[in-house]
Amino acid sequence: MKFNKELDAIKTYEAGKPIELVVREFGIRPEQVVKLASNENPLGTSPKVAETIRANADKAHLYPDDSMFELKDSLAKRFNVEEENIIIGAGSDQILEFVSRAKLHAGSRVLMSRVTFAMYSIYALQQGAEILRTADYRHRSEEFVPMMREHKPEVVYLCTPNNPTGDATKREEVFRIIEAADPNTLVVVDGAYMEYAADRDPDYRIDPAELLRYPNTLYLGTFSKAYGLGGMRVGYGIARPEIIRALMKMRPPFNITALSLAAAIAANEDAAFVQKSLALHRQELPRYEAYAQAHGFDYIESYTNFITWIFPEGRNASEVADGLLRRGVIVRDLSSYGMNALRITVGTPEQNDRLFEAMDEVLG
């Protein structure tokens, strides 16, 4: 049987190893596994969200409200935009997929950072598009603007804060890049970790409402990180109505489950939980910076809920990751991104203790 030729080029996304896998492969008890690999919220699920899920558990047989009226209304209020500016995806991932399918085709070009979220290129390859990357993993206008002028890419991805590196791009630098875009270029500002950057330094805060003054910009946000809904798959896009309408054409019906909708509405209105998550993060992040300094390796200044440790020659990140895994601590090895580095979610104080203990053993 023949399949479309684009399939030949497709790599499958490598997800963070789930706890179940470590339990199965290494025989470690589930409660002993520490997962710091997928940037899940270490505070867990907000109690208000869990209560909402329990209250809706017996409605699992009913299809969701496909208009997503309530969630859009809640998001519109939070961001001071209109409902026609909003699209909801099964994670912001799914909106990336809509972007690729609405804008890209064989022969079109996408521009992104050298090291950035893997799904940008995976979805672009599914459309047969050509991928252009900057030399630096940081999003610098000195690199982006000339490449945009030369190649006129259909889509530009600005991931700020950037994943899996953790750095962020200042607001004025983001605007500089957006303003250099061709009218036919869609500039996607992926703010999946924006809550952490905004909390750390207001100069890095991108306000989706502010982006609406540009006709060709799409902002992406998610409930998976600061809002603690990684398992529920809910993200959102904010843009001018013309862009939202085009993306809506690619949206499959019922793309958000009934419980995910209910959970996201509850999460969106639980600002206290987000503040608590940010406060915990502010308290724990410096421990990771200190550990790296004390052990003679480098790290990237983090504007996210994770930190990227960069190892010197002679210390192999994959081996460190493997050593941690055997001790029941799951982190993300970045060698497939061409970096001798680990991406580690900043966890609870106890989880971080466990990570440092395991690291001590692995480093020997």
Looking at the Cβ atoms of 7 and 209, the one nearer to its own copies is: 7
> From residue 122, how far is each of 52, 116, 129 by CA, in Å?
35, 12, 10
Where in 31-70 is the site for its own copies (CB under 8 A)?
Answer: 35, 38, 40-41, 43-45, 49-51, 53-54, 57-67, 69-70
Looking at the Cβ atoms of 18 and 205, the one nearer to its own copies is: 18
Dihedral sign from CA coordinates of 75, 218, 166, 37: positive
If one asks whether residue 178 binds its own copies (CB under 8 A), the answer comes out as no
Amino acid found at 169: T
Where in 261-280 is the site for its own copies (CB under 8 A)?
Answer: 263
Q: Is 152 left (phi over 0), alpha (psi -120 to 50) or beta?
A: left
> Considering CB under 8 A, how many residues would be counted as binding its own copies?
79
Partners of 332 in the beta sheet? 343
If one asks whether residue 1 binds its own copies (CB under 8 A), the answer comes out as yes
Q: Give Rg (Cα) of the chain.
A: 20
Where in 308-337 is the site for its own copies (CB under 8 A)?
Answer: none
> From residue 108, how far is each of 130, 154, 270, 288, 312 by CA, in Å?
6, 6, 41, 41, 38
> Two tokens at 58?
């017996």
If one asks whether residue 27 binds its own copies (CB under 8 A), the answer comes out as no
Q: How far is the CB of 361 from its own copies (least distance, A)?
A: 26
Looking at the Cβ atoms of 264 and 342, the one nearer to its own copies is: 264
If one asks whether residue 76 binds its own copies (CB under 8 A), the answer comes out as no
Where in 197-236 is the site for its own copies (CB under 8 A)?
Answer: 215-216, 224, 228-233
Check if the beta carbon of residue 32 is closer than 8 Å to that of residue 144. no
Q: How far is the CB of 168 from its own copies (least distance, A)?
A: 23
Task: Tell me the C-alpha distance between 32 and 326, whole Å.
Answer: 12
Q: How far is the CB of 79 from its own copies (least distance, A)?
A: 21
